[in-house]
Each structure stands twice: as C-alpha cells, then as structure tokens.
Amino acid sequence: MTHIIAVTNQKGGVAKTTTTVNLAAAMARRGLSTLLVDMDPQGNASVSSGVNIRELEAGSYDVLIGETSVKDAIVASTNGYDVLPANDDLAGAQVDLMEFDDANLRLKKALKNVQSQYDLIVIDTPPSLNVLTINALAAAPKVLLPVQCEYFALEGVNSLLTTLAMVKKALNPQLEILGVVRTLYDGRTGLAVEVTKDLMKHFREKLCETLIPRNIRLAEAPGHGVSIFEYSPRCRGALAYKALAEELSTRLQIDN
C-alpha cells in the first residue's frame, strides 16, 4: 500500500518545506521507498534534495501539462529518496492548466502510474491556495499541517480547514488530517504554551506529540543541498524529525 501525504499550510514561514524534506529523508532512512513531489514553484524542496533546478530537463510542470511522465521526470536526491522536482516554470501551470477539464486532478492521475513503486509519497505545496495546492490535496488522502506557535497561527489554520473541507467534498472524499505538528518551537516562551493549548482544543488526538524546535542546523542544511540527517545527524532538529517519522509511521500503521 502506498501512503500519500500532502504537507501544507497556506501561511508561509512555518517550516513546511523543511518538514517535507526531512520527513521524506527520515522515512527513507527507516527503509521506506519514498518519493518527494515538489509542487512549489520556488523549488526549495528540490534544492534541499540536491537537485540543480536551473538545469532540469523535466519537472512537475511538464508532468501536469502532459508533456512528460512522472517516471521520466524523477531524479535521485542526495537524501535517499526520489524527487519529482520543480522550478519557476511551475508558476505557469496556474494559467496553462485552465485549458484542461481535469485541471485539479492532473497530479493524482499522473502519480497513479508510479505510486505502486513507492511505500510513501510526500508532496510539498506552495504557501498559498491555488491550483497547485488543490492538485496536491486531491492526490493525497492524508494531510500534515506544520504550525508555528505564534500569534495568528490558528487564523491561518482555520482558513486551511475550510479549504480541506471543500476539497474533500468536491474532489477527494478520503482526505483527512494525519497530524498537526508544531514547528520552530521554543518552549521558553509563554506564547508557545498558549498556542499549544489552543491547538489541543482544536485538534486533540491529531496534534503530534513530537515538537520541531528552532534549530540553526535545520536552517543551514538546505544551503548544502542535503537533509538534516546528512548535515548534522545528532542535532536536536535531526532527532526531532526522526521522532516525527516514527510517530507518523505508527499513525499510518507502517511496520518496519
């Protein structure tokens, strides 16, 4: 069985891509054959995976518009998983997909041709609501929500929950929240404690026990084109993402 997870939050700066990359790397280290799908035109997940996005022959944009298959666009990462990469060409998909009747389902249909080859597919999304985000949510039965413990955190989450409900009703009846993970966490602040209380009220058992701390090594790793496990495997950030992978594996009932 292939598990597909979209990592998303319409609010930027919540460590969404950091979580996507390091979760994919942690799962690969647990022995799962893993594919990371980059659906963000910034291509940060691709760069963090050691992909030179300036020299792409094909990527997620070409797959969405039907010019190539997922299989032909996939490249190997430096982190032990495969990547369907992206660059700024993907920004044009928002216009180009308008000519397709199945514009919101292009990714889901494309992934069907390769998903049997993987135990896990993790999708990085843009920090906004557009056709790329909708494609990711339509393709993924599970959603992981990274949330920074700061003012207005829940305001952004409430907007996202409305989006999830719409996509579930119109495109993907299986869509559900796998977990809500607190990122950039600093337990020394009263604000972090208060936001945690609010998240617990809203999400209860969906709130992950694992906390992703503020950690300079996590911020540095993308610049080297590697995950935290290749860059600084013993740092707090690496230990946290290892724990998150273990927690989510339990929720997905993955035995390994």
CATH number for 8: 3.40.50.300
Q: By residue range, what is the domain housing residue 15? A: 3-252
What is the rounded distance in angstroms from the CA atom of residue 53 to the CA atom of residue 130? Answer: 22
Look up the pTM and report it.
0.96
Per residue in 231-246, pLDDT (tens digit) is 999 999 999 999 999 9
pLDDT at 143 over 70: yes
Our count of domains for the chain comes to: 1
What is the rounded distance in angstroms from the CA atom of residue 90 to the CA atom of residue 76? Answer: 20
- The pLDDT of 161-181, averaged and rounded, is 95
Per residue in 40-49, pLDDT (tens digit) is 999 999 999 9
pLDDT at 195 over 90: no
* % of the chain exceeding 90 in pLDDT: 82
Q: What is the pLDDT of residue 256?
A: 64
